[in-house]
Structure 1
Amino acid sequence: MWSKSPSWHSRSRLLLWAFILQSVLLFLNPPSSPPIVAHAAPPDFTSTPQNRIFFWKVTRTTLAPDGVTRPVLLVNDKYPGPKIEVNRGDYITVVVENALDVPTSFHWHGLTMRGDPWYDGVPGMNQCPIPPGANFTYAFGTDNMVGTHWWHAHFENQYIDGLIGAMIIRDPPETNPFFKAYDEERNVILNDWYHQPTGPLLAQYLSPESHGREPVPNNGLINGKGTFNCSNVQPANLACVPGERAVFHFISNRRYRLRIINASAASPFMFSIDDHQLQVIEADGTDLNPVMVDRLPINAGQRYSVIVTANQDLKNYWMRAEMGTGCLPKTPSNLDPVILGEVRYQGAGKAEPTTTGRFVPQPAVKGQEALVNPSFAEACKDMDLYDLHPLQPVPILEPITNSLLIRISFKKNPADDIVRGYMNDITYSGGNAWNPTIVQNLNQSVEYEVNHHVMQILKPGAIVQIVFDNSQGDEHPFHLHGHVFQVVAQGVGFYEEGKTPLNAVNPLRRDTATVPRNGFTVVRFKADNPGVWALHCHIEWHVTIGLVMQFVELPDQLRAMGIPEHVGNLCKTGPPKGFKPHTGFMP
């Protein structure tokens, strides 16, 4: 039985007006009409929280972000999709019209969704997908969260095909510790890019012939733009024209906050701007004691803010996103792993930059191999934990009440001979997206299937420690929904409780941390947010083959909250006729 939670009652007036507005607009603008954008410009800072309303229409078209034409999914005809930008404490309402012929859903990466767990956007866990041709309203608060986040589809692998966008929660000037440290902001979305949609890539990946090697990207993009050598297109019949690079305009001596988001399916990047220093001030929504670097590794799902001062000679410079090919399967010969954007100083004209990075390629000579760009391997691990400390210190969470060791492995599943990902010898199966865990939890005597990999946290305020043991594999960026965790240890080899040094003084807080190759990462969080929260590798291909588990946190409290009726109604439709999982967005 669906019910309304206490948090639902506290927000009922805002939601009531949002739903009335949605109904009126849908009446005046039926699904065939273009969506109305109620809020697009950066919001003014206000003394009281506002309800910011966004209207989205999800469609499919063909596009050529790097010059190679392929099918792409869009929100409001944009790639990347529209930016959500609000102030701390604002309420966000997103009215989604699904004009696709397959279901969809959206996740708000980095937001804890406190009090609104059914809007986290994970089918099979905390919501049912939005049916084709239907409308659905997400409505949630931002609590005390600030910083750089992003949104992406969380149904199947749809975000690889285009459903991504920036999500910025800004601090008012009086509480923003860096408000006077920069003059302007720019968003920088990095992602890898494939010249085929996910359907045919998944068909190959989910076969014994792949031997577990995930699809390798053909290119990378900066803010949805890039270039590609059309003579290298495979297959050769793909339409290709010269692409264009992202351009960032700088004015001499001004200071720019770059909000960098890695929205990749698999690739980490080493980010830099030739001849410029980067002052790191934020990681995954947590303000940091500033750290100066000349390059920044950023893995899939992670975000950083850096301040760049335009204090160099009046000319144009390359912005570089060097792909971490050292942690990808064999790189295809037609991939240039150095993705470029242009930083143009005002007054320097439009000439292509001639600057060089810290690595100058040198071809092989007799008796010697060609030099390998160090970024291709360095990008595969996070910045040193001991260099990153939150500006507002929080003591290390202790004592530990729940300790979980997760051993990451890949092996052939005897049931289908396909290599799958395992966490403690369990490979996750999404099961029925139309019977999510949050609905099953309404039954107090529920027994979850083993391959749904459910861990229950029963004690309010429990301090949960997770030790990721990756001693036999490549790097994995792990993301936890519903929480910001402390990263208390990270390194190569094995973690030994009581022996391995801890980052115990003001440890880094974030929501996506890399488990290094042949190594470990240890995180801690407090169980104070009732919900069903996914824990998964953010290499999207690894999600498909089972590197996922879920926490049912404080199930009794979650059960008492109930589920809003309009959320529960999504589960009544069931899958559309002919739908098959893991076939891409094509029906």
Structure 2
Amino acid sequence: MIRIGSHRCLLWQSVICALVCLLAFHPFSSSTSNFADAAPPEFTSTPRNRIFFWKVTASTLAPDGVTRPVLLVNDKYPGPKIEVNRGDYITVVVQNALDVPTSFHWHGFTMRDDPWYDGVPGMNQCPIPPGTNFTYTFGTDNTSGTHWWHAHFENQYIDGLVGAIIVHEPPETDPFLHAYDEERTIIISDWYHQPTGPLLAHYLSPDSHGMEPVPNNGLINGKHTFNCANVIPADLKCEKGERTVFHFLPNRRYRLRIINAGAAAPFLFSVDQHQLQVIEADGTNLNPILVDSVPVNNGQRYSVILTTNQEPKNYWMRAEFGLDCLPKPTNLDPVILAEVRYQGAGAAEPTSVGRFVPDPNSKEPQINPAFVEACKDLDLFQLHPLQPVPILEPISKSIQVRISFKKNETDNIVRGYLNDITYAADPWNPTMMQNLKDVVQYDVAQHVMTIDKRDSIVQIILDNSLGGEHPFHLHGHVFQVVAQGEGLYEEGKSQLSAVNPVRRDTATVPRKGYTVIRFKADNPGVWALHCHIEWHVTTGLVMQFVELPDELRAMHIPKQAAQLCEVPPPAGFKADTGFMPK
């Protein structure tokens, strides 16, 4: 056998694996520049090495009818879906055909034994240089459910570099194998009519006063419509867009895998006149609960079962912006729609009504009280994993993290701070490489915290005194959410979800409130903790954990990963400038 990264390949795969390893860091020739998508895998319980070939390019696209520059993988937006079985190996050969560097993160994967493939420049890898390719490879032994991939360099995922990853449970261990008949993957996202370059230029200036760019629209599976009369700037090419259409059979049960791949906005997901049975959050199977709507914040995923037991006609699927969580919008339609068409109902546009219900005593419709708020997670005390795990205790290390924004005195730019430190990435000097030194002292702006003791229980208290919510994501771990509420968290006084707390990797810190998470330090690596509002990543709401640094040092970074750092940045390149099309 041979190895790719830290995974063994089966004998019958050896030739393929060897070829992938040989290609790992060399430019593609013209004869190999066009890759076709791999055929959908045959889903069996037998582990396989699933190999995906990606080409990253810059192009133009009009997902909602407004043409703008985009970044694409294999000419697709959203990008190719990775669909595998738990136990499979995933190998992704990335050809970077851009004229700038890039990298990719596998959101929801703990990257156990493969921390150098987590995809965060400045932490666990250097970016992939333009005109070259790089091979990511990692296992799925401890992962299942609904996840996603996205670029993790600059703000490239806002410009199009996103896609779904679905890891199926083997039939013998899938608790919901007979709970539904079919499934659909649904990627919801906010959308901007300009690339990130000009948006960042304004945001990272005194003129923005710290107000992040407001989306112009939202998309469901990469589609929606837009009123061309509202286009800003007015000279953008605009034509009639189209909505995504889902064709459903009556009296069937559909698992909807919902992913918020947006940059700034939380959404409230619903399907008119249908209830949703929630069975998964961020890859964790749940004791099912029945709801009318699901709030999905940036980076979060849910699986719900929808039963088509209503009158056979057409219905609206809705992804409603959490407007209370955004700066005041200008030309934004707050309700993003897709069509659910029952078989035999024809193609007429739905006339169904959403969460607003008529009020006989008022001209204005009233909000159905059964619907939740978009700016909060589902009630923490209703979400319990199907496979119970006791609350992690005793606490070995408790870290209070204060979220704040303030104006920098030297340049008058408002930046984000965690414990009064605003993170500044150093993409070509990753923390993982620095950890190889006998003596290392990290720059304050890298905001590094070290966890030395294996199996220690780490508690993070995220305190947010601000008027906006913040979805925080932790790399390398699935954590327990043990507390969430308004005001300040008080140890010993604030209510805990102490019995079988929900486990996930992205949790919302509510406005003027707190969220408390716990995880066990048993995964050597360099792991980011950051707000998943992508603009806030750019402005500094990031910190990192060097977990078990001695064990990490002894694992030996693969040669192809280390080689990335031998290539300097392109001449004149500056990080955090965003996508500036030629």
TM-score, reference length from structure 1: 0.94
Map of 2:209 onto structure 1: 211
Which of these residues, 485, 506, 521, is aligned with residue 491 of structure 1? 485
Map of 1:339 onto structure 2: 336
Q: In structure 2, what is the Cα distance between the partners aligned to 1:539 and 1:305?
A: 22
Please tell me the residue identity of whatever aligns with 1:410. F
Find the residue that maps to 1:378 and give its secondary structure: coil
Question: Do 1:409 and 1:473's aligned partners in 2 also have CA atoms closer than 8 Å?
Answer: no
Are the structure 2 counterparts of residues 569 and 24 from structure 1 closer, same or farther at C-alpha, using a change threshold of 3 Å? closer
**Counterparts of residues 230-309 of structure 1 (less than 5 Å):** 230-309=228-307
Shift of 1:577: 1.2
Q: Which runs of 5+ in 1 are unaligned?
A: none
Question: Do 2:286 and 2:385's aligned partners in 1 also have CA atoms closer than 8 Å?
Answer: yes
Shift of 1:585: 2.3
Question: Do 2:294 and 2:372's aligned partners in 1 also have CA atoms closer than 8 Å?
Answer: no
Find the residue that maps to 1:118 and give its secondary structure: helix
Map of 1:327 onto structure 2: 325
Please tell me the residue identity of whatever aligns with 1:384. D
Which of these residues, 389, 393, 397, is aligned with residue 388 of structure 2? 393
Question: Do 1:6 and 1:561's aligned partners in 2 also have CA atoms closer than 8 Å?
Answer: no
Shift of 1:114: 0.1
Q: In structure 2, what is the Cα distance between the partners aligned to 1:79 and 1:347?
A: 30
Q: Could you say what the CA RMSD is over the residues aligned between the two structures, in angstroms?
A: 2.4
Q: In structure 2, what is the Cα distance between the partners aligned to 1:369 and 1:245?
A: 27
Q: In structure 2, what is the Cα distance between the partners aligned to 1:53 and 1:386?
A: 40
Where has structure 1 moved over 6 Å in runs of 4 or more? 4-7, 12-16, 24-29, 368-377
Please tell me the residue identity of whatever aligns with 1:345. Y
Question: Do 2:198 and 2:580's aligned partners in 1 also have CA atoms closer than 8 Å?
Answer: no
TM-score, reference length from structure 2: 0.95
Shift of 1:143: 1.7
**Counterparts of residues 65-464 of structure 1 (less than 5 Å):** 65-332=63-330, 334-360=331-357, 378-430=373-425, 432-464=426-458
Shift of 1:32: 6.5
Are the structure 2 counterparts of residues 101 and 401 from structure 1 closer, same or farther at C-alpha, using a change threshold of 3 Å? same
Q: Which runs of 5+ in 2 are unaligned?
A: none
Q: In structure 2, what is the Cα distance between the partners aligned to 1:449 and 1:323?
A: 38
Are the structure 2 counterparts of residues 442 and 12 from structure 1 closer, same or farther at C-alpha, using a change threshold of 3 Å? farther
Find the residue that maps to 1:288 and give its secondary structure: strand
Which of these residues, 486, 503, 509, is aligned with residue 509 of structure 1? 503
Q: In structure 1, what is the Cα distance between the partners aligned to 2:27 and 2:418?
A: 50
Q: Establish whether residue 472 from structure 1 lines up as the match of residue 444 from structure 2.
A: no
Please tell me the residue identity of whatever aligns with 1:335. L
Find the residue that maps to 2:255 and give its secondary structure: strand
**What is the identity percentage for the equivalent residue pairs of Structure 1 and Structure 2?**
72
Q: In structure 1, what is the Cα distance between the partners aligned to 2:367 and 2:383?
A: 28
Moved more, 543-552 or 414-423: 414-423
Question: Do 2:24 and 2:135's aligned partners in 1 also have CA atoms closer than 8 Å?
Answer: no
Are the structure 2 counterparts of residues 6 and 150 from structure 1 closer, same or farther at C-alpha, using a change threshold of 3 Å? closer
Are the structure 2 counterparts of residues 218 and 329 from structure 1 closer, same or farther at C-alpha, using a change threshold of 3 Å? same
Q: In structure 2, what is the Cα distance between the partners aligned to 1:80 and 1:96?
A: 16
Are the structure 2 counterparts of residues 507 and 31 from structure 1 closer, same or farther at C-alpha, using a change threshold of 3 Å? farther
Question: Do 1:267 and 1:324's aligned partners in 2 also have CA atoms closer than 8 Å?
Answer: yes
Q: In structure 2, what is the Cα distance between the partners aligned to 1:297 and 1:576?
A: 41
Moved more, 268-277 or 408-417: 408-417
Shift of 1:25: 11
Map of 1:534 onto structure 2: 528
Moved more, 482-491 or 37-46: 37-46
Map of 1:521 onto structure 2: 515
Find the residue that maps to 1:321 and give its secondary structure: strand
Question: Do 2:471 and 2:533's aligned partners in 1 also have CA atoms closer than 8 Å?
Answer: yes
Shift of 1:31: 4.4
Find the residue that maps to 1:52 and give its secondary structure: strand
Map of 1:40 onto structure 2: 39
Shift of 1:38: 6.2
Shift of 1:473: 3.8
Shift of 1:331: 1.4
Q: In structure 2, what is the Cα distance between the partners aligned to 1:15 and 1:65?
A: 41
Shift of 1:383: 0.5
Shift of 1:22: 6.4
Q: In structure 2, what is the Cα distance between the partners aligned to 1:354 and 1:422?
A: 46
Q: In structure 2, what is the Cα distance between the partners aligned to 1:32 and 1:585?
A: 28
Moved more, 28-37 or 61-70: 28-37
Question: Do 2:220 and 2:337's aligned partners in 1 also have CA atoms closer than 8 Å?
Answer: yes
Please tell me the residue identity of whatever aligns with 1:401. S
Find the residue that maps to 2:540 and give its secondary structure: coil
Please tell me the residue identity of whatever aligns with 1:341. A
Are the structure 2 counterparts of residues 6 and 320 from structure 1 closer, same or farther at C-alpha, using a change threshold of 3 Å? closer
Shift of 1:413: 1.1
Are the structure 2 counterparts of residues 418 and 308 from structure 1 closer, same or farther at C-alpha, using a change threshold of 3 Å? same
Please tell me the residue identity of whatever aligns with 1:229. N
Q: In structure 2, what is the Cα distance between the partners aligned to 1:338 and 1:297?
A: 14
Cα deviation digits, residues 464-489 of structure 1 (max 9, x gap): 00000102341000000000000000
Question: Do 1:38 and 1:55's aligned partners in 2 also have CA atoms closer than 8 Å?
Answer: yes
Q: In structure 2, what is the Cα distance between the partners aligned to 1:127 and 1:154?
A: 11
Cα deviation digits, residues 220-248 of structure 1 (max 9, x gap): 00000000001111111000000000111
Question: Do 1:158 and 1:584's aligned partners in 2 also have CA atoms closer than 8 Å?
Answer: yes
Question: Do 1:37 and 1:54's aligned partners in 2 also have CA atoms closer than 8 Å?
Answer: no
Are the structure 2 counterparts of residues 375 and 235 from structure 1 closer, same or farther at C-alpha, using a change threshold of 3 Å? farther
Shift of 1:320: 0.3
Give the count of matched residue pairs.
578
